[in-house]
Amino acid sequence: MRTAQRTVRTENGPHSGPYSLATRRSSIRKVGWVATQPIVKMPDMALQAPRYLAPFHPKHIAHFFTDVLIIGGGLAGLRAANAVDSKLSVLVVTKDELKQSNSNYAQGGIAGVLAPDDRFEDHIADTLTAGGDLCDAQVVEMVVREAPEHINELIHWGTQFDRESGKLTLGREGGHGHNRIVHALGDATGKEVMRAVIEWTQRLRNVEILERTFTLDLLTHEGVCRGALVADEKGAKTLVWAKQTILCTGGVGQVYRESTNPPVATGDGHAIAFRAGAELRDMEFVQFHPTVLYIAGSSRSLITEAIRGEGGRLVDRQGHRFMLDYDERAELAPRDIVSQAIATQMEKTRHPNVYLDLSHLDPQFVLKRFPGIAATCAKFGIDITHDPIPVRPGAHYMIGGLIVDQHGATTVPGLWAAGEVTSSGLHGANRLASNSLLEGLVYGEHAGRAASEAAAQIADDFRALPLQNEPMNQPLEPLDLGDIRNSLKSLMWRAAGVRRSRDELVAAAETIDNWCRYVLARQFGDAEGWELQNMLTLSRIMVSAALAREESRGVHLRTDFPATDDEHWHKRLCYRRNDDGSLEPVVT
> Using CB atoms within 10 A of its CB, is residue 501 exposed (0-12), middle (13-18) or buried (19+)?
middle
Comparing C-alpha atoms, which of 147, 155, 146, 162 is closest to residue 110?
Answer: 147
Amino acid at residue number 496? A
381 sits in the region (left: phi over 0; alpha: psi -120 to 50; else beta) called left
Segment 47-61, tens digit of pLDDT: 678 999 999 998 899
DSSP state of 101: S
Evaluate whether residue 37 is within a structural domain. no
Cβ atoms of 400 and 428 closer than 8 Å: no
Evaluate whether residue 570 is within a structural domain. no
Cβ atoms of 373 and 384 closer than 8 Å: yes
Comparing C-alpha atoms, which of 574, 28, 87, 505 is closest to residue 583?
Answer: 574
Residue 266 shares a structural domain with residue 248: yes
What span, in angstroms and rounded, lies between the C-alpha atoms of 276 and 158? Answer: 38
Residue 357 shares a structural domain with residue 447: no
Domain holding 335: CATH number? 3.90.700.10
- Classify 69 as helix, strand or coil: strand
Can you name the residues that pair with 164 across neighbouring β-strands? Answer: 167
Residue 335 is a catalytic residue: yes
Give me the pLDDT at residue 102, please: 66
Total number of domains constituting the chain = 3
What span, in angstroms and rounded, lies between the C-alpha atoms of 555 and 498? Answer: 7
Per-residue pLDDT of the chain (588 residues; tens, 9 = 90+): 333 333 333 333 322 333 333 333 334 433 333 333 444 344 455 567 899 999 999 889 999 999 999 999 999 999 999 999 999 999 999 999 887 776 776 777 899 999 999 999 999 999 999 999 999 999 999 999 999 999 999 999 999 999 999 999 999 887 899 999 999 987 788 899 999 999 999 999 999 999 999 999 999 999 999 999 999 999 999 999 999 999 999 999 999 999 989 899 999 999 999 999 999 999 999 999 999 999 987 777 888 888 998 999 999 999 999 999 999 999 988 888 899 999 999 999 999 999 999 999 999 999 998 998 999 999 999 999 999 999 999 999 999 999 999 999 999 999 999 999 999 999 999 999 899 999 999 999 999 999 999 999 999 877 767 788 888 776 667 899 999 999 999 999 999 999 999 999 999 999 999 999 999 989 999 999 999 999 999 999 999 999 999 999 999 999 999 999 999 999 999 999 988 888 888 766
Residue 158 shares a structural domain with residue 301: no
DSSP 235-268: --EEEEEEEEEEE-----GGGSSSBSS-TT-S-H
Evaluate whether residue 17 is within a structural domain. no
Give me the pLDDT at residue 161, please: 96
Residue 206 shares a structural domain with residue 73: yes
Entry field: residues in the chain: 588
- The structure's pTM equals 0.88
Residue 315 shares a structural domain with residue 416: no
Give me the pLDDT at residue 92, please: 98
**30: number of CA atoms within 13 Å, CB side?**
13
Give me the pLDDT at residue 579, please: 84
Amino acid at residue number 530? W
Give me the pLDDT at residue 476, please: 65
Give me the pLDDT at residue 45, please: 52
Cβ atoms of 500 and 559 closer than 8 Å: yes
CA distances from 521 to 44, 51, 474 (A): 19, 11, 8
User: What range defines the domain where residue 512 resides?
Assistant: 483-560
Q: Which of 257, 281, 335, 577 is catalytic?
A: 335
Residue 386 shares a structural domain with residue 408: no
Residue 242 shares a structural domain with residue 96: yes
Give the start-end residues of each E strand in 60-99: 62-71, 90-93
Segment 312-351, tens digit of pLDDT: 999 999 999 999 999 999 998 888 889 999 999 999 999 9
What span, in angstroms and rounded, lies between the C-alpha atoms of 217 and 82? Answer: 24
Own/partner pairs for 383-387, CB < 8 Å, 24+ apart?
384/358, 385/358, 385/359, 385/361, 386/359, 387/359
Cβ atoms of 20 and 5 closer than 8 Å: no
